[in-house]
Each structure stands twice: as structure tokens, then as C-alpha cells.
Structure 1
Amino acid sequence: MEQRYGAGPDQINGMNTTQLRENFMVERLFTPGQISFAYTHFDRMVVGGAVPTEKALSFGDGKDVGTSLFFDAREMGIANLGGAGWVEVDGMRYDLGNRDVLYVGRGVEVVTMGSIDAKSPARFYMNSVPAGHSVPTRLITRAEAKVLEMGDAEQSNRRSLAMYIHPEVAPSCLLLMGITDPAKGSVWNTMPPHLHERRMEAYCYFDLSDEDRVMHFMGRPDNTRHLVVANGDVVLSPAWSIHMGAGTGPYGFVWGMTGENQEYTDVSPVAIKELR
């Protein structure tokens, strides 16, 4: 399990590109035949990726999070961003198609993941956060997500936001998780940019071609920086930072949040003209 310690807003001035990426990004999560995790010190979120091929992949030991079992005091969302797959939670199997999400509640012992076809493997993206109580494990299919249409085509930020792990769809203790897709011809996401001082957020950008990139903007509104993001890269957004991005081609992203509350609208918008 890798570590990401992050930094405060007064520290990014002294960071070069490599240092920004080392603190605020997780790369190479999706390696065929492996599970990869990164423990972040942004509200203790763990991000992970798994690409099972011929053999299933399992985890459950809690050594890296300081407990006997991984889920002794944690919950998790698992989004399938690849081919058809399955996840077995303590012997109960759930089949996940592309863009289905499985919520795994506190108290689980073992999670096992597999692909239906090794030549077109599942790509499981995971967000895990501390949880104070148990909520039953539940599959949320793409059809069951609550979709919000947002933005304006004339400003190139028309997009659909699908809520999966959310009080209005599937409850959890503290985790929120969903998927956003810019509309055809739109490139900007999360407009206007905003802060939510009571929650951090992780972005996993996916469905980009090899040639395309997303330019992700971070930092305080009056002191911004950017990260160049490829397919499958994860950006960690602390509570003090704005977060928005523009892609050079089609893309989507999984957003995961945790913090003091689950109020999706508990944000402080920032006018574009105020950015520096």
C-alpha cells in the first residue's frame, strides 16, 4: 500500500511538478492481475484499483490500516470501469457490469474480485473511508443511479452526474460516490469550481484515449496549480482546494467524498473571474 501525505495550501508554492504529482495524485492503479492501494492522509481515504484476469483477486487483511481486518472500521465503494466482472463479499456474489457500483459495509471479512472474460477484464476502482457504523452491502446498478443533468453546452460544461452511494440512492456511513460524464462536445467538469471545507474528494479519470489528457486545476482560488492527468489516474483534492478540469477528448470520472457530512450541496462556489 502506497502512502500519500498531502500538504497544506501554503506548501504548494515550493513544489515542482513532480512533487505536486507525488502528493496529490495516484498513478498506475490498474495493473492486470494485481490489486493496488494507496492510503491517503486526506480524511484517511484509501483508493485502490484491481484488474483480475485469469485468476480472482482477494483482500481483507487489515495490517496496512491498523486493524485485524480491513473492514473492521471501514466501508468501501467499488466501481467497475471495465468489462463484466463479479465481486464476492463473504461468500455472497454480486455481478457488476460496466459502471455498476457495489457498496461494501463495515464488518466484512473477505472481498474477492474476478472478471467474466480475462480478455476483456473488469477494472475495479475502490474508495474506502472510516465508518462509525455498519450499513448492509448493496449493489447499485447503472440503471439505479440518480442522474442529474447540469451545465450549459454554450459554455462547454454540459454534463450528467450519476449518484450511486448517496442518501437519496444507497445509504452509507460517510462515503459518497458517483460518476460524471461531460456531454458530447463539452470538456469542462465541476463548473463553477468550488470548495467544500468539510469534505475531501478523489477524482478517478477514465475512458480517455491514450493520446488524450485532462488538465485538472487545484489550489486555493487565488493561487491555482494544474495537474496533467491520464486515463486511470486519480487526483486527491483536499478540503482547502478547488477542483475542476478540462479534457482534450471524451472522458468520465468517478468522484468519491468523505468528511463531516453527506450534504452534496454543502459547497462554496468560486466565480471564474476570481481565479488566479
Structure 2
Amino acid sequence: MTMRVLYGAAPADIKSYDTAKLREAFLIEDLFQQGQATFVYTHVDRLILGGAVPTSAPLTFGSGEDIGTPYLLSAREMGIANLGQAGTITVDGTAFHLENRDVLYVGRGAQVLTAESDDSASHARFYMNSVPAGADHPHRLITRAESKLLELGNAKRSNHRKLRMYIHPQVAPSCLLLMGITDLSEGSVWNTMPPHLHERRMEAYCYFDLAPEDRVIHLMGRPDETRNLIVANGDALISPAWSIHMGAGTGPYAFVWGMTGENQEYNDVAPVAVADLK
């Protein structure tokens, strides 16, 4: 288990960032390493992102050494989405089997987590979001069939998409974490369009199911001074509360979204008109 730290930035800071500096501050590459569990701690609402790709041997993690607590989840909750082949997450001796696009909610107080792939030749790819929690909720597996489906956008505007809520008060309660998966419909390229801000919540994206030659152009920054990140398959990024977040892909893709902040009101947003972007 390895963990690195990101400190984030203020809106005024990124005016002077070149491409390399912007990527260093907000983009997380190489999160999914075969045979490793990798974590990134961000000071943006103290979100932790993680990736685990078990191969021939299980991966065990859960130590709180890097964050100054007895266990990683001593005062945190976690969502784990399987973006690969079937696998199992064992939490303190209780096993949960995850098919592709199933999500496991792990409540505060869990101590030892183990990740395994069903087939060592075709690996599970576990993506994790963890946030501070002030309440206890039971561990729960949410299958794709149990998620809540919302259809958003319009094919004529190239932004039709299917959003599935997993960790959400209407599906599986948590303390502060929200988590779900969005798929673009065939022929659509834009996600989270039109853009918006949610001052009371930050968000993290993990883009996946891109072909090796494809990229997503992810737009961020203040509405009147936008920036972009070029994102490849498996890359994740941090979207602070002050930033818009939207993207367009050169080919088919999906993404996991995770949020934390002052509330769990998914519609607590301030829309931004496309015509106002600069």
C-alpha cells in the first residue's frame, strides 16, 4: 500500500499554471498498478482515492499509518467500485463478491480489507473513494441492478447519458460520501453538460472504458477562466467546489463520480450557461 499527497489550489493560483503544473495538482495517473494497492490523499475535503489490481495474490490494506489513525477507516467511510473483471473484497472477515460495475460501501471502523481477482489472468480493478465520516452505517454491496438509474441529456446535443446512483440516500445511505457511475450513450460525447458548480461539495472523477488511443478533454476552473486536462483510460482527477467539471471524449467512455461536502443533496448546484464560459 502506497499513498501520496495532493494539496490542491485556489482559483487564483491556476491562472499561472502551465500544463504540467495543472496536471500535477489535479490529475492522478497510474492509479491502477497490477499487483498493487495505490492511494492518493488530497487536502481538498480530505478525500482519498485508491486503486487496487490484484493479480495472482490478494492485496491487503487498511493501515492508518499514513493518516495518523489506527486504521485507514477508523474515522472514514469508503466506496469501492469494480471497473474490471469479477473479484472479491473481504472486510474484517466478511466477503463481498463484486461483478463489473458493482459498488461496495464500507462503513466507518473497518480495519482490514483484502482485494482478490476471481481470475488471476483477467483482473478486477477496484477504484476507491474514502472521506471522513461522523456516523456509522453498515457495509453493503450495491449491485448494478440495485442502483438508481437516471437518464439525462439529449442525443441531439451529444450529451445523452445514463447515470446510476449507488452510494446515495435513495439507494444505500452513508454519512457524507456519494458515489455513482455514468455511461455516455452511443454517439454522445459530453458529460455533465450543461456545466454547474456546487459550492458545498467537491467531486472526484475516474474515467474508464476508454480505448488506448482515445482521450477525454476535461474542462475545469472558474466559468470565466477555464482550463483543460487531457485524460486517458483509468485516470482520475480532483474537482474542487469552486471549479466547473465537464468533458468530451474522442470515443466511448464512462466515469465514476464521487462527492463529499456539507450535504448529500445531489441537485444542490448552481447551473452555468455554456454561453457564459470563457
What TM-score do you get using the length of structure 2 for normalisation? 0.99
Task: Tell me the SS of whatever aligns to 1:31.
Answer: coil
Query: How is 1:218-257 mapped onto 2 (pairs within 5 angstroms)?
Result: 218-257=220-259
After TM superposition, where is structure 1 displaced by more than 6 Å over at least 4 residues in a row? none
- Indicate the residue corresponding to 1:196 in structure 2: 198
Distance 2:24 2:198 in 1: 23
- Indicate the residue corresponding to 1:127 in structure 2: 129
Gaps of 5+ in 1: none
Amino acid at match of 2:260: T
Give the one of 12, 15, 25 matched to 2:14: 12
Gaps of 5+ in 2: none
- How far does the alpha carbon of each residue in 1:200-257 deviate from its partner, in whole angstroms, 9 at most, with x for none? 0000000000000000000000000000000000010000000000000000000000
Task: Tell me the SS of whatever aligns to 1:201.
Answer: strand
Task: Tell me the SS of whatever aligns to 1:23.
Answer: helix
Distance 1:51 1:109 in 2: 20
Shift of 1:38: 0.2
- Indicate the residue corresponding to 1:68 in structure 2: 70
Distance 1:210 1:274 in 2: 33
Amino acid at match of 1:216: H
Query: How is 1:148-159 mapped onto 2 (pairs within 5 angstroms)?
Result: 148-159=150-161
Shift of 1:37: 0.3
Distance 1:265 1:130 in 2: 22
Shift of 1:60: 1.2
Distance 1:258 1:28 in 2: 23
The alignment yields a C-alpha RMSD, in angstroms, of: 0.4
Distance 2:168 2:67 in 1: 25
Amino acid at match of 2:177: L
Shift of 1:56: 0.2
Amino acid at match of 2:42: T
Is residue 187 from structure 1 mapped to residue 170 from structure 2 by the alignment? no
Percent identity of equivalent pairs: 68
Task: Tell me the SS of whatever aligns to 1:162.
Answer: strand
Distance 2:48 2:67 in 1: 9
Give the one of 262, 268, 271 matched to 1:269: 271
What TM-score do you get using the length of structure 1 for normalisation? 1.00
Give the one of 164, 167, 170 matched to 1:168: 170
Task: Tell me the SS of whatever aligns to 2:33.
Answer: coil
- Indicate the residue corresponding to 2:86 in structure 1: 84
- State how many pairs are aligned: 276
